[in-house]
Chains A and B, each alone.
Chain A
Amino acid sequence: MARDPKYDILFEPIQLGPKTLKNRFYQVPHCIGAGSEKPGMQAYHRGIKAEGGWGACCTEYCSIHPESDDTSRVSARIWDEGDVRNLKAMTDRLHHFGALAGIELWYGGPHAPCMESRATPRGPSQIPSDFELNIHPRYMDKDDINEVQQMYVDAAIRARDAGFDIVYVYGAHAYLPFQFLSPFYNRRTDEYGGSFENRARFWKESLEKVREAVGDDCAIASRFAVDHLLGATSIQVDEDGVRFVEHVDHLVDLWDLTVGDIAEWGQNAGPSRFFEENHEKPFTGQVKAGNHTNKPVVGVGRVTNPDTMVAIIQSGQFDIIGAARPSISDPFLPKKIEEGRPDDIRECIGCNQCISRWEIGGPPMVCTQNATAGEEYRRGWPPEKFSKAGNADKGVLVVGAGPAGMECAMVLGKRQMSAVHLVEADSEIGGCVNWISKLGHSDGKENLFRGTARGLGEWSRIVNYRQVQLDKLKNVEVHLNSRLSAQDVLEYGAEIVVIATGCHFATDGLNPATHTPIPGADTSLDWQLTPDEVVAGNKPIGQRVLVLENEAYFMGASIAQKLAGEGKDVTLVTQAADVADYMHYTLEAPMLHRDLHRLGVDIRTYTMVDSIEPGACTLYNVWDDRHKDKVEVDTVVLCTQRLSNDELYRELKSDPAALQREGIEAVYIIGDASAPRMIVDSVFDGHRLAREIDSDNPAMPLPFIRERRLWGDTGNGDFESQLLAPSDMVAAG
């Protein structure tokens, strides 16, 4: 089908200095865990997006010199000819699909701890990083300034040689150029500090020098946080923000606008829990609205809806639709609009699992919605292509339509299995997503920052996308309200059975801290609840509530937030150093803590529940169990650990003769039923099994390509003059 003419504007070309962007879809720089040292992952992840229609794709932040070394977080690097060679794999792949390649040249100053290079970062003033622990920069004198600017120039020349079309001088997220511009970092009294012109001088000179070096060949871009969101202590959009754009507008071919800094960059990469689509508009929107630039402007806002994209362009907010997370969730987003099938777009849910892996430092990126993200090269999984399974004649029964079961059935359907039945006990598909997506709200009142706790409603996109796809697959049947016994499964007539029956919360306080139940814990009592029971609302909740949070992700804190929002007096207890520790990685923690604080939640860290009795809990400090404290409560919520619903699987496995008699060749178990995990990993598990359903042993994942140096080998096993990838990854035509 042809695209709807109302979207034509999205496919207009845009001139960026000497380069032409073929349409208005632009993957802004974002991390994936590849850098320059996993060239296959880098080339294939970006390349998939180029194949999917994005007009340009950028690297993640790319260090210009060992002095800017973010280890253990993974940046790209363009330090030497080896990096040029590795990054050229990416630019070649992008050019093959007609996309431009961008590189975000980065010098971090004190935010880069230089743990691999052991170099000393330099900065405008000797103020330690507000992001990294205890890293002080060396004060830059004028020689230092010249040296660092020359690093940008040398890196830009290498970038051009690597085939990059767009070269950034990256000054967003409070990295070095912004540190000079902002009085929050810059306390200098020479010609690089004080007045606006002085503070802007470093960035302006750097742009001039980079432009002089490569400006004839490459488009020069700058990423700029137009507002630091710190008020008058730093850059504000209506003051120095637009002033800086005007000041150096003649030196750039493209503006890439953001807000905030790296210390709380969740204000830019906003999680859906707190930020709606296009939430930066009040800031970034001012630049074009006030006619402060004559250059094309790209910006982000986790925009997945093509109508919003059109509105952004027609309203004059941006010229180009920038995306990081929406491009990870659906690398083929532009192509789906172009082909007139926007209902196939796999919309980002804003969970920030992708970001969490960068924050952890080291692991490859993951995506809840797109299980193939980061797997394009090493596992050879193209997101929109599915080979016909070698055993497609088999019939498959998938029991349980939660995240793992839905994904598995969908991918098996796309792999043209003769018949796939997805059977669900509940009255709708979605499993745990159906109640989890109701969490994350508090009382709807304005937060300390801006906006409210919006909740996890967008997480239901996990279900929506799969519902649409399952409906389209003729070989997949979905049956609801049907709880299958082992006998039902045996008699079902499927050759392959996949058990995806999910998990449940421990009812007795069994937990990862003590590995034992908690004395007195028993959720069969009407004043003790598991988290799902809180959402279901079938038990009364008293005024004084204790929530025990041992999971370290969103559940316990979300329950506390919900109940405090409903006016309860909530004590939130965790054995860890912080509640919901993983939410620091997803960038949700700052806003969550603002909300919990505002709601008056009493947070007890390094604390565990010793015992529970009617009306009270006895707590102790985990470093000193003689330090006890008795808290009077009416209701206890136990978010301690989960346990697999694996009885059906165990029963089937226990009788191999019956399986053989009934013609069942294999029984697999996936997702939480196998071991409780985060939704992102359940989706992956279901996808992985379906991708490999015709391997020799589908229960065991196939090995993946490891991009490593082989000792004593002149080449690498995965590199023979060109990147090797499975044949179905290679683009047709």
Chain B
Amino acid sequence: MRIVVPVKQVAVVDEDFELVDGGSAVDPDFLEWSLNEWDEFSVEAALQMGDEVIVVTVGEEEATEGLLACLAKGADRALRIWDPALEGADALAVARVLAAAVGRESPDLVLCGVQSSDAVNSATGIGLAAHLDLPHLAVARAISADGDSLTVERELEGGLIEVVRVGLPALLTVQTGINEPRYANLRAIKQAREKPLEVLDLAGLGLSESDVDAARGSRLRKLAVPEAGEGAEMLQGSPAEVATRIREIVAERLSA
């Protein structure tokens, strides 16, 4: 089975950070990068099921590290797509770009993470399925392969599980905890650098800037930090003293 796994190198924001240009972005000095947590699980699922695993990402140079981590764990090839025109691309635009890259591979299965921890849209995977016209199932918590179809358990609200059978090719978005992601030993980490890692721009995928623009669903207006509230007052003393003070505060606020 040939499986393509779109992954994302996500930004991890420091406890304290600053915004640039009045809120267009977080100052990169306060960012660190790591592979999206959900993608650890989709990659593992692919490695367990696939004969050939190809990881794909849309991102700048810092995303190479995440691809190398996937190659070290056992992915066979990697593709990174970047183009200056992708600056500020939203989930749907990224899905359009990924569709061009994934389509080239004619995979039996596409495994995405449920969401990315930085943008939290849960849209890329489903958008990609739409562009590729693939059947899709979101929030998979268990997958078993069975000839040219899959049986998938989906996680629903309230602890419900939905069991669905889907024909291949298909696209799933994978939930954390579905498996125990492996780690790469030092030898595999070194050897990952020898594996194929292709870098393409939009033209390399046969796409134009207007294709991406047409797919875009939103545009970032502003990032902002919510204003802090009044803060907390720590009450100290015996339970009776604390209770008395709480009663006073409630009375004060009610009469205000």
Contacts and interface: CB of A to CB of B under 8 A. Distances in A.
Interface of A: 1, 395, 397, 419, 421, 477, 479, 481-482, 488, 491-494
A493 B188 contact: yes
B180 A493 contact: no
B185 A492 contact: yes
Contacts of B180: 481
B187 A419 contact: no
Contact of B186 (A419, A481, A482): A419
B190 A493 contact: yes
User: Which of B185, B187, B189, B190 is most buried by chain A, counting CB atoms within 10 A of its CB?
Assistant: B185
Given A397-B186, A493-B189, 10 more contacts: A395-B186, A395-B190, A419-B186, A421-B185, A421-B186, A477-B183, A482-B183, A492-B185, A492-B186, A493-B190
Contacts of B185: 397, 421, 488, 491-494
B16 A1 contact: yes
Nearest to A488: B185
B181 to A, nearest CB: 10
B104 to A, nearest CB: 33
Nearest to A481: B180
Contacts of B183: 477, 479, 482
A421 B183 CA distance: 10
User: Which of B16, B180, B187, B190 is most buried by chain A, counting CB atoms within 10 A of its CB?
Assistant: B187
Nearest to B186: A493
Interface in B189-214: 189-190
A544 to B, nearest CB: 41
A1 B17 CA distance: 11
Nearest to A477: B183
A421 B72 CA distance: 14
B-side interface mostly: helix
B231 to A, nearest CB: 11
8 contacts: A1-B16, A419-B186, A421-B185, A488-B185, A492-B185, A493-B188, A493-B190, A494-B186
Contacts of B190: 395, 493
Contacts of A477: 183
A309 to B, nearest CB: 16
Nearest to A315: B236
A492 B16 contact: no
A488 B186 CA distance: 11
A486 to B, nearest CB: 14
Interface in B11-27: 16
Interface string B163-186: 000000000000000001001011
Contacts of A395: 186, 190
Contacts of A479: 183
A397 B183 CA distance: 13
Given A1-B16, A481-B180, A492 B189 contact: no
User: Which of A421, A481, A491, A493 is most buried by chain B, counting CB atoms within 10 A of its CB?
Assistant: A493
Contacts of B186: 395, 397, 419, 421, 492-494
A491 B189 contact: no
User: Which of B16, B180, B183, B189 is most buried by chain A, counting CB atoms within 10 A of its CB?
Assistant: B183
B16 A493 contact: no
B96 to A, nearest CB: 34
A1 B30 CA distance: 12
Nearest to B180: A481
Contacts of A488: 185
A7 to B, nearest CB: 16
A95 to B, nearest CB: 35
A494 B180 CA distance: 23
B235 to A, nearest CB: 14
B189 A419 contact: yes
A397 B190 CA distance: 14
B44 to A, nearest CB: 14
Contacts of B16: 1
Nearest to A495: B186
A108 to B, nearest CB: 42
A477 B187 CA distance: 14
Contacts of A419: 186, 189
A494 B186 CA distance: 6
Nearest to A482: B183
Interface in B55-84: none
Interface string B238-255: 000000000000000000
A491 B190 CA distance: 12
Contacts of B189: 419, 493
A419 B183 CA distance: 14
A477 B73 CA distance: 14
A1 B187 CA distance: 37
Contacts of A1: 16
Contacts of B188: 493
B186 to A, nearest CB: 4
User: Which of B16, B180, B186 is most buried by chain A, counting CB atoms within 10 A of its CB?
Assistant: B186
Nearest to A474: B32
A216 B151 CA distance: 88
B228 to A, nearest CB: 14
A481 B188 CA distance: 19
A493 B185 CA distance: 7
Nearest to A478: B183
B184 to A, nearest CB: 9
7 shortest interchain CB distances as A-B pairs: A493-B187, A493-B186, A395-B186, A492-B185, A479-B183, A494-B186, A493-B185
Contacts of A494: 185-186
